[in-house]
Amino acid sequence: MGPRYSSSGKERRQVRAALHAERPAVQVGKNGVDEALVSSAEQAIAAREAIKVKVGNSCPLEPAEVAEALSVELRAEVVEVKGGTILLWRPGEDDGGP
């Protein structure tokens, strides 16, 4: 069974388009998903609502595992996992869209 999304396909497309040219806000390395990474990602997603995460070759986890762990920790939705790049989105309290 595939992932379940609370957002619409249109919203996910808007997030993907908005993050297309952006550089990754967070990079996951050999330490995997640790407290420092979660803290950094929390600050980034609080400021922008949507972030791009790059999973390096030295990471002991697969990108899908990193995406799942970060989505739970950040209370965010996984928009896309493509190669070593993850797009996460957490709508702000004032609106429901990107």
Q: For 57-91, what is each residue's pLDDT tens digit?
A: 999 999 999 999 999 999 999 999 999 999 999 98
Q: Does 96 score more than 60 pLDDT?
A: no
Task: Give the up-direction half-sphere exposure of residue 71: CA atoms within 13 A in the CB hemisphere.
Answer: 19
From the list 92, 13, 82, 18, the residue with the least C-alpha distance to 53 is 82
Q: Tell me the three state secondary structure of residue 79.
A: strand
Residue 2: predicted pLDDT: 42
Instruction: Kindly tell me if the per-residue pLDDT of 50 is higher than 90.
Output: yes
**pLDDT, the chain, mean:** 88
* pLDDT above 80: residue 33: yes
CA dihedral 47, 16, 82, 44 (to 10 degrees): 0
Do residues 68 and 55 touch, judged by C-beta distance below 8 A? no
CATH superfamily placement of domain 24-89 = YhbY-like (3.30.110.60)
The answer to whether the CB of 31 falls within 8 A of the CB of 61 is: no
Which helix (H) or strand (E) segment is 52 a member of? strand 50-55
